[in-house]
Amino acid sequence: MMDGRRFDVVLFDLGNTLLYFNGDWTPILLEMDRALLAVLWERRYDLKETDFIADYSLRWLEYDRRRIADHSESSAASVLRDSLRQFGYLDPPAEDIRAALAASYAVSQAHWFLEADAQLMLEILQKEGYRLGLVSNASDAEDVYTLVDRSQLTPYFEQIVISAIQGIRKPDPRIFKPVFDHFQVAPDRMAMVGDTLSADILGARNVGIHSIWITRRADRPDNRAVMDTIKPDAMIRTLAELPALLTQPGLFPVKQSA
Which tens digits make up the pLDDT trace of 152-166? 999 999 999 999 999
My answer on whether 219 and 99 are in the same domain is no
Q: Give yes or no: residues 104 and 128 share one domain.
A: no
* Region 168-191 average pLDDT: 97
- Averaged pLDDT score across all residues of the chain: 95
- Same domain for 242 and 126? yes
Number of Cβ atoms within 10 Å of the Cβ of 120: 12
Give the Cβ contact number of residue 42 at 10 Å. 12
CB 8 within 8 A of CB 131: yes
CB atoms within 10 A of CB 149: 11
* Domain final residue, candidates 60, 77, 109: 109
Q: Which structural domain range is residue 237 located in? A: 9-20+113-246
End-to-end, the C-alpha distance of the chain in Å comes to 20
pTM: 0.94
- Whether residues 134 and 161 fall in one domain: yes
Do 143 and 129 share a domain, yes or no?
yes
Query: Is 158 inside a domain boundary?
Result: yes
130 neighbors 10 (Cβ within 8 angstroms):
yes
Residues 175, 101, single domain; the answer is no
Q: Which of 54, 87, 109 is the endpoint of a domain?
A: 109
Quick one: pLDDT at residue 80?
A: 98
> Do residue 154 and residue 183 come from a single domain?
yes
Question: Looking at residue 251, what is its pLDDT?
Answer: 74
Domain assignment of residue 75, yes or no: yes
Rounded to whole angstroms, how far apart are CA atoms 225 and 63? 21
Pairing of strands 19-21, 112-114: antiparallel
140 and 221 belong to one structural domain: yes
> What's the CA gap between 256 and 208, in Å, rounded?
7
In a domain, 258, yes or no: no
Residue 85 lies in a domain: yes
Q: Give the integer Cα–Cα distance in Å for 110 and 134.
A: 21
Q: Tell whether 257 is covered by a domain.
A: no
In a domain, 220, yes or no: yes
**Strand 19-21 with 210-214, pairing:** unpaired
Enumerate residues 6+ apart whose C-beta is below 8 A from 151.
18, 19, 112, 114, 118
Q: Are residues 133 and 55 in the same domain?
A: no
Sign of the dihedral defined by the CA atoms of residues 119, 125, 127, 133, in that order: negative
Among 109, 130, 151, residue at a domain's last position: 109
Residue 3: inside a domain = no
Residue 255, pLDDT > 90, answer no
**Domain match, 175 and 133 both:** yes
Kindly state whether residues 75 and 192 are assigned to the same domain.
Answer: no
**Cis (ω within 30 of 0) for the bond into 92?**
no
pLDDT digits (tens, 9 = 90+) for 73-132: 989 999 999 999 999 999 999 999 999 999 999 999 999 999 999 999 999 999 999 999
